[in-house]
Structure formats: C-alpha cells, structure tokens
Amino acid sequence: MNGDKRIKTVLYAIIFFVFTSAIFAEGDYVSALDTAEKLNTFLSWDPLSEDFYFSKSGHRAQCRVGLPMMLLSGKELVFIAPPKIINSVLSISKETAIRLESFFGYSLEQPIYRIGAILIDPGHGGKDPGTHGSYTENGKTIVVKEKDITLKTSKELYELLKVRYPDKKILMTRYDDSFPTLDERVEMANSVKLNKYEAILYISVHANYSWNSKASGFEVWYLPPEYRREVISKDAVSKEIFPIVNSMLEEEFTMESIMIAQSILDGLDASIGKQSKKRGIMEQAWFVVRNAKMPSVLIELGFVSNPTEVRLLNTPSYLKKCAEGIYNGLVSFITHFEGSGGFTGEGRKKL
C-alpha cells in the first residue's frame, strides 16, 4: 500500500519484452487457477481492469493480462511473459509459475504490512460552517451546523481509536473550530511518516443536505474506479513504467477503499440503523478523497435538512453512536487487513 517505496526495475527490459512477448506459444502457458491451487494461494480476478492477484500469508503478486510485468508485495517489479486468456482460461507462462513458486516460498518469512496511522478529517470548520439545518424546540429555533456535527463525532471516534490502538498514530486534521483548507488536509494525510511496512487510512466525516426534506440516512463514499489519480511519486519509478505501476497500485487503493466503505457502512447500520436509513456506498471524486494517496473514504452521517434527523445530529448520545459505528467498521477492516498480512486479495472470492 505504501506507493512511494522505491520499485526495482531495469529499463532495457521493456524493449526486450516487447520483442519476446510474441515468442511464447500457447504450450508455454499454464492455467493461473491451476498454479494457484498448486501453490495453495488465493487467486482474485478483476474483469474490468483485467488485473489478477495471487495472495498467500499476507503477500501478493499482481499481474495484468497483456502486460509483461508482475508487481510483488506492492514494491518490487519483475518482468515476465505477458499473461494471456487462452481458450477462455486465464493463463501465465511456465516461467512465471516458477517465479511465483520461488516468491511465495521466500516471502513467507518477510515482514507483513499493518495499519500504522488513521487520519480523521472532521469536515469544514472555522469560517466554513458547511451546510446547516434547524428545528424548533420550546419556541426557540436551534441552528445545527455541519462543522459542529463532524467535530463532535470525530472527537468521539478519535478517543475510541486511541484506546484500541495505542501502537498506531491516530490523528485529526483539526481538533477545534479551525479551518484547514482542503489542500492542507490532504497534505497532512500525504505527509504522515510511516515505517516501511505500514499504511495509513484517511477518514473524512461530513453531514448531508437535500432540498427534499424527506431525504434521510447515512452513506459512505469512495473514489470511482474510473477516476485516475497519482498514488506514487513520479520519481519513484522510471517514467516509462510509471503509468502502469501507478495504475496497479491505484487499483489496490480502490479495492481497499471499497472494503473500508462497506465495513463502516455495516458498522453504522448496526449502531444507528434503527434510527436512520442505510443509503449504501457511493462513488464520487471528492477533493479530499481523490487527492489522498492512500485508501480513503468520505462519510455522510445524515441530513440536516430532514426535520427528524437534524434533531438526532444535534444529540450528543446519537453522535456517540455514529462514532461507535465508524469505529466498529474500522476495527473490522483493520482486523481483516492485518490478519491477511496487509493485502485484500485473500479476502475476496477465489477465482
């Protein structure tokens, strides 16, 4: 997941494989699924990008149909005969299968990834109140501002995570009624110092608004898979292979973001589902999500435009339940992530 780690590569190999990729005949290829079963690894397939992953004991080898390269543990790039689909069967070269056997045999003793930091971003703040709603109580109009909802919930979440994970960096983009700009928030996230095998999660907390006062419920957003962003520094790899490596790592971030979004949604549903509607996980290229070079999600806790929900969003006990739901979702994801050694591939259905 840490995209800025130096990826080993040899530039002339690109030219070499352009000429040699056509040499491998169908007889030189074997079934990827058969290889996975032989090595006792999981095999996951993404039909959209044509990426596929072999994963075992927290380590992963990532390939793409037609590309003469394989990404090992998200940091080492090796060149291979391009994977193919032969007679509707996902296939890799025999040499690649041998390379995988060597990799998984060796990698079992390597360190595995863990979540090293969680950055909580309470939306808006200071001069930016965000959206707002109101309700009447005892003849008095109570105005509820998004910036207050997000800060109160984020503080509750912060305290829960600090207790659960004393060994991790639990951070917030603001701890009071201040206004970090969107650029500053993203910079905070991208500049967090991590150890070699650590990753960071970015959690942005917001409240919703609709002109339809009947709209209600909570939802979690992630970056659409088709949105292209840079998740590694351009000086981390050669310019010739940057687009390919960036795309492969970006795919991993997207899958992890979807898993985080679903985990948080489930956590919120268990916590506040009897009082608020589960609207699902959504795709949107929000600024903070698309510019954070890590798995990231944006949470909408509810609608301040809804006369019932706005009261709930101004109730401390309800916001605490929201924080507990997010917390439980994060714990679920982190447990899976670290339990599988840092790669989501093992958590997906075997191809």
Can you tell me the mean pLDDT for 227-242? Answer: 43
Phi, psi (rounded to 5 degrees) for 121: -115, 100
Give the gyration radius of the chain's Cα atoms. 23
pLDDT at 295: 81
Contacts of 235 by beta carbon, 8 Å cutoff, 6+ apart: none
Between 258 and 131, name the one with better pLDDT: 131
Distance CA 319, CA 160 (A): 13
pLDDT in tens, 263-300: 999 999 999 999 999 999 987 654 444 445 578 888 99
pLDDT in tens, 88-101: 999 999 999 999 98
C-beta atoms surrounding 11 within 10 Å = 10
C-beta atoms surrounding 265 within 10 Å = 24
Q: What is the mean pLDDT of the chain?
A: 81
The pair of structure tokens assigned to 264 is 């948080």
Q: Are 169 and 118 in contact (CB under 8 A)?
A: yes
**Residue with structure tokens 């268990």?**
270
pLDDT at 100: 93
pLDDT at 75: 75
Could you give all domains of the chain from N- to C-terminal order, each with its CATH number? 12-109 (3.30.457.10), 114-346 (3.40.630.40)
Banded pLDDT at 106 (limits 50, 70, 90): low
pLDDT at 300: 95
pLDDT at 57: 77
Banded pLDDT at 182 (limits 50, 70, 90): confident
Can you give the chain as a three-state secondary structure string? CCCCCCCECCCHHHHHHHHHCCCCCHHHEEEHHHHHHHHCCEEEEECCCCEEEEEECCEEEEEECCCCEEEECCCEEEECCCCEEECCEEEEEHHHHHHHHHHHHHHCCCCCCEEEEEEEEECCECCECCCEEEEEECCEEEEEEHHHHHHHHHHHHHHHHHHHCCCCEEEECCCCCCCCCHHHHHHHHHCCCCCCCEEEEEEEEEEECCCCCCCCCEEEEECCCCCCCCCCCCCCCCCCCHHHHHHHHHHHHHHHHHHHHHHHHHHHHHHHCCCCCEEEEEECCCHHHHHCCCCEEEEEEEECCCCCHHHHCCCHHHHHHHHHHHHHHHHHHHHHHHHCCCCHHHHCCCC
pLDDT at 293: 55
Between 75 and 252, name the one with better pLDDT: 75
Q: Is the pLDDT of residue 203 over 70?
A: yes
Q: What percent of the chain has pLDDT over 90?
A: 56
Classify residue 28 by its DSSP letter. G
Distance CA 39, CA 26 (A): 21
Among 163, 61, 184, CA closest to 172: 184
Distance CA 42, CA 33 (A): 9
Between 157 and 18, name the one with better pLDDT: 157
pLDDT at 266: 97
Q: Is the pLDDT of residue 164 over 70?
A: yes
pLDDT in tens, 28-56: 899 999 999 888 899 999 888 899 999 88
Residue 299 to residues 44, 183, 219, 220, 228: CA-CA distances in angstroms?
28, 19, 6, 4, 21
Q: Is the pLDDT of residue 343 over 60?
A: no
pLDDT at 336: 87
The pair of structure tokens assigned to 43 is 């095999």
Among 228, 271, 221, 273, CA closest to 246: 228
Among 50-59, 155-164, 219-228, where is mean pLDDT lowest?
Answer: 219-228
Banded pLDDT at 60 (limits 50, 70, 90): confident
pLDDT at 218: 98
- Which pTM value belongs to this model? 0.66
Question: Judging by beta carbons within 10 Å of its beta carbon (0-12, 13-18, 19+), is residue 347 exposed, middle or buried?
Answer: middle
pLDDT at 341: 63
Angular region, 275: left φ>0, alpha ψ -120 to 50, beta rest:
alpha
